[in-house]
Amino acid sequence: MKVNVCLFGPMRKYRDKDKFQLELEEGATLARLLDHLKIEDRIYIVILINGRRAYEDEPLSDDAEVLIMAPTGGG
């Protein structure tokens, strides 16, 4: 299956592009995607799948939009 990935802020360091498509095996979880991207800090991270907050153990579906960012705050 294909997922669309978008990296933000400090997460951009894991790829030369911040928007790309990835081919993953059917039924892959978010953890699999994070492994693939070699993302180190796996706890302090915010991931949205199709706009919804998700945790590592959740499965991905074909054509999912995955946004990966570091939590932050601001005014």
Give the integer Cα–Cα distance in Å for 16 and 37: 11
CB of 19 to other proteins, least distance (A): 12
Number of residues in contact with other proteins under rule CB under 8 A: 21
Give yes or no for residue 21 binding other proteins (CB under 8 A).
no
Q: Token pair 């030369």 is at which residue? A: 16
Listed in sequence order, the residues at least 6 apart from 29 whose beta carbon sits closer than 8 Å to its beta carbon are 56, 57, 58, 59, 60
Give yes or no for residue 17 binding other proteins (CB under 8 A).
no
Nearer to other proteins, 16 or 25 (CB): 16
Q: Which residues bind other proteins (CB under 8 A)?
A: 8-9, 41, 43-46, 48, 50-53, 55, 67, 69-75
